[in-house]
Amino acid sequence: MLPGSTMIFTTIVLLCAVASATAQTPVASQSFPFPSILTPQVPTNPPYSSSPVMKPFTLSAVTDWSRMSDWTSPYNIYRDGGGSCSLSNRTFWVFCDTTAYSKTTGNILGAASNSMTVALSFSNPKGLKDVTMIPSTGWKPAIPFTAYEDTFSGNIGTRYALWTYTNCVQLSETRAMHFFLVNKFSNPYSSRQYGNTMAIYTLDPVTNQITIERPEQFWYTNQTYGYGSFASVVVNKVAYLYGLDRTYSGSYDVHLAKVPVGYETNRNYYRYYDAAAGAFSYTMPVPTARRQANAVIQGTMPFSTGTVFWSAYHNAYLLVFFNNWVDSTFRVLSAPSPTGPWNVSNSVLYRSTPGEGGFNYGGNASPIYYQQPGQIAGKELLLQYSYQNTSNTYPKILQVTFN
């Protein structure tokens, strides 16, 4: 055999080993007992594309549920960010920076980069039951750090942070996927995004265990768009993953990738949308400059956080979002398909009232709360945001009903 062909053969073998290791051995994994609290809902069945005729975005009712809190926890728990999804008729949230305080002394007992908590009921959406803020485990985050990231955990000025700012998406009855940015602190007050990562949630409804895995430390490094960490939606067994161009567009442009459900941990199945060509390809647009022509959405204001979902009531895909101007206002865009064309002329849905901190952030919609039998999906929405009180931040929610 020629030396050259030996080398090629070796390379192929190595690549195969890497590919299968990627799919089968996560870089981090852990499980938690998961309460059996049922919140059954009916999944929507979105079409690829609908006719753009739809209802207006005016509201007939708003119910302010105020603070979401962990009613059964022995601690006062504060948290921010967050998103939700359902598995096997149980609905859970993954929030960001979480702190637990003693109810008697008011002293801080523990903190974690993120935490998981379960919805108690859709009819009283304020109530949560915390799953992961447990002192006996050392208050570890719900989404595990890699062993390397964990070596920085004790140091507030160099730590990694895993912050979820959009909803997870259900892939099957027992499996969901969640994308978010991986941040690293360079001093106690500022952090940078090193990339984007994926968590896979697998619920065993018989043993009541949830397993949370990260297939790789970075699914995409910060040299590419953070696909999925702005928003994700599943349509007919295809996951559509939206990511912001923060660096070159100042978060005005949204880029889109897609992957067939079942292949989400295999990078070779990801395809990337090029709006100029009106098609997906295996070639990822490289963000070495602003790529407006490739972007699926070019906003008229910078995006901060958001949720994409199908609204049967509006006969449209909706993007409910907060902008980066921190005006505490929920706005909505619409499109006939996940790839658009997105109508970027936004409607104001609801102006929330900020607390002492000056502005609310982390605005998202949780449509699944009102996808119960007899309800038209999208007619009502649960809106959630991070409210900054005098010294702490916590999630607040409201229910809105469209005309």
For binding to ligand NAG (CB under 6 A), which residues are involved?
A: 40, 52, 57, 88-89, 173, 192-194, 222, 343, 345, 347, 355, 389-390
φ/ψ of 25, rounded to 5, equals -115, 100
260 sits in which H/E element: strand 253-260
The residue with its CB nearest to ligand NAG is 40
**Which tokens in the block code for residue 357?**
């901190």
- The SS3 of residue 312 is coil
CB of 387 to ligand NAG, least distance (A): 7
CB of 333 to ligand NAG, least distance (A): 8
CA nearest neighbour of 255 among 271, 273, 282: 273
- Considering the complex, state which of residue 132 and residue 227 has its C-beta at the smaller distance from ligand NAG: 227
- Considering the complex, state which of residue 12 and residue 40 has its C-beta at the smaller distance from ligand NAG: 40
CB of 42 to ligand NAG, least distance (A): 7
Q: What is the rounded CA–CA span in Å between residue 367 and residue 180?
A: 20
- Considering the complex, state which of residue 140 and residue 310 has its C-beta at the smaller distance from ligand NAG: 310
CB of 314 to ligand NAG, least distance (A): 10
Amino acid of residue 274: D
Structure-derived torsion over alpha carbons of residues 210, 216, 221, 227, reported in degrees to the nearest 10: -40
- Considering the complex, state which of residue 88 and residue 153 has its C-beta at the smaller distance from ligand NAG: 88
H helices present in 170-278, as ranges: 246-249
- Considering the complex, state which of residue 315 and residue 343 has its C-beta at the smaller distance from ligand NAG: 343
- Considering the complex, state which of residue 292 and residue 315 has its C-beta at the smaller distance from ligand NAG: 315
CB of 173 to ligand NAG, least distance (A): 5
CB of 341 to ligand NAG, least distance (A): 9
CA nearest neighbour of 321 among 311, 332, 310: 332
What lies within 8 Å, CB to CB, of 35 at 6+ separation is: 90, 118, 129, 131, 208
Task: Look at strands 69-70 and 127-130 and give their pairing.
Answer: parallel
